[in-house]
Chain A
């Protein structure tokens, strides 16, 4: 398993601003992912954070809107840029450490955009 810490746990932001969410893992992991969970919805994968290279984005998500950094095997950041109320969601960091692909998740960062 892995212990995953996310900061901030929640924030309220103004339209047009940007927010960076941090994800810290207590052990080195190869696979790290960022998910979004919109209100009353299931989880949607935003991107895979690759160490030492550009993140791999899923359809519908672009680097300009959600830039991701992965400077080492224990840390990643997700930035939500030029925010609008539609970006109000919970953003979750997850890592894959299990031998058969089980994921472990942080507690999420609840973002409200006014």
Chain B
């Protein structure tokens, strides 16, 4: 699986957009980008995933660059409840293995 690089921490003002970057310069053509988050003392929560097109759901938007070497997770109106560690993971979808390899992630602190 491709390695990802994320900033260790970020701050965001409540109500503003939080833009979390992820570099995955060695991503392969069949690897998806997944985002998860882990709120303190809880299990990780799936947020969104994408292959090459930008994606949006009720939680967030995912912007993937044209060369697919980086992506940005956007929380359009961050709330205090969005304070968490956000993990960017790339891997092949499907196949016999289902595990995801978690890096250190970005600790997002949303401040009032």
* Chain A contact residues, CB within 8 Å of chain B: 4, 31, 33, 42-45, 48, 58, 92, 94, 96, 98-108, 110
Q: B98 to A108, Cβ gap below 8 A?
A: no
Q: Which chain A residues border B102 with CB–CB below 8 Å?
A: 42-44
Q: A33 to B99, Cβ gap below 8 A?
A: yes
Q: B99 to A108, Cβ gap below 8 A?
A: no
24 contacts between A and B (CB under 8 A): A33-B98, A33-B99, A42-B87, A42-B102, A43-B44, A43-B102, A45-B99, A45-B100, A45-B101, A58-B99, A92-B43, A92-B44, A94-B43, A94-B44, A100-B49, A101-B32, A101-B93, A102-B34, A103-B44, A103-B46, A107-B43, A108-B41, A108-B42, A110-B41
In the complex where A42-B105, A101-B91, A108-B42 touch, is A31 in contact with B49 (Cβ < 8 A)?
A: no
Q: Which chain A residues border B65 with CB–CB below 8 Å?
A: none
Q: Is the C-beta of B15 less than 8 angstroms from some C-beta in chain A?
A: no
Residue of A nearest to B35 (CB): A102
* Chain B contact residues, CB within 8 Å of chain A: 32, 34, 36, 41-46, 49, 87, 91-95, 97-105
In the complex where A33-B98, A33-B99, A48-B98 touch, is A102 in contact with B42 (Cβ < 8 A)?
A: no
Q: A96 to B105, Cβ gap below 8 A?
A: no
Q: A101 to B43, Cβ gap below 8 A?
A: no
Q: Which chain B residues border A94 with CB–CB below 8 Å?
A: 43-44
Q: Which chain A residues border B99 with CB–CB below 8 Å?
A: 33, 45, 48, 58
The smallest beta-carbon distance between A53 and chain B, in angstroms, is: 13
Within the assembled complex, what's the spacing in Å between the Cα atoms of A103 and B38? 13
Q: Which chain A residues border B104 with CB–CB below 8 Å?
A: 42
The smallest beta-carbon distance between A99 and chain B, in angstroms, is: 8
Within the assembled complex, what's the spacing in Å between the Cα atoms of A42 and B6? 13
Residue of B nearest to A102 (CB): B46
The smallest beta-carbon distance between B62 and chain A, in angstroms, is: 13
